[in-house]
Amino acid sequence: MINVDITLNEEGRVTDIVMDGHADFAEHGSDIVCAGASAVLFGSVNAILGLTSERPDIDYDDDGGYFHVRSVDTNNEQAQLIMQAMLISLQTIEDEYSDFIKLNLK
């Protein structure tokens, strides 16, 4: 299962995201849940890097299965909007495939 831990501050702004695990919906290369969640996360991070002045701290496992984004400025409105859009997209995947992906808001 993919676990996505999302840390929010008191105002509901995203400060930290950790995506960990594998969906195991299908074999590697055919797993639409993994591909969808990865595309949402990578696309969102690329949008933050390409469209804002924000440069978050990123850690990841070269073999897949782990991605951590932190140090996102909670006052950067553009970056926060992208992060909120990412959460909605991940929630949509979770709604359809809850046996394979779980979002944990902290």
Prediction pTM value: 0.91
CATH number for the domain whose boundaries are 2-75+100-105: 3.30.70.1490
Q: For this structure, is 22 an active site residue?
A: yes
Residue 34, pLDDT above cutoff 90: yes
Q: Where are the domains of the chain?
A: 2-75+100-105
pLDDT of residue 3: 97
Q: What is the pLDDT of residues 48-73, one digit of tens each?
A: 999 999 999 999 998 889 999 998 88
Confidence of residue 99 (pLDDT cuts 50, 70, 90): very high
> How would you write the chain as a 3-class SS string?
CEEEEEEECCCCCEEEEEEECCCCCCCCCCCHHHHHHHHHHHHHHHHHHHHCCCCCEEEECCCCCEEEEECCCCCCHHHHHHHHHHHHHHHHHHHHCCCCEEEEEC
Check 34, 40, 83, 93 and give the catalytic one: 34
Check 1, 16, 18, 22 and give the catalytic one: 22
Q: For this structure, is 34 an active site residue?
A: yes
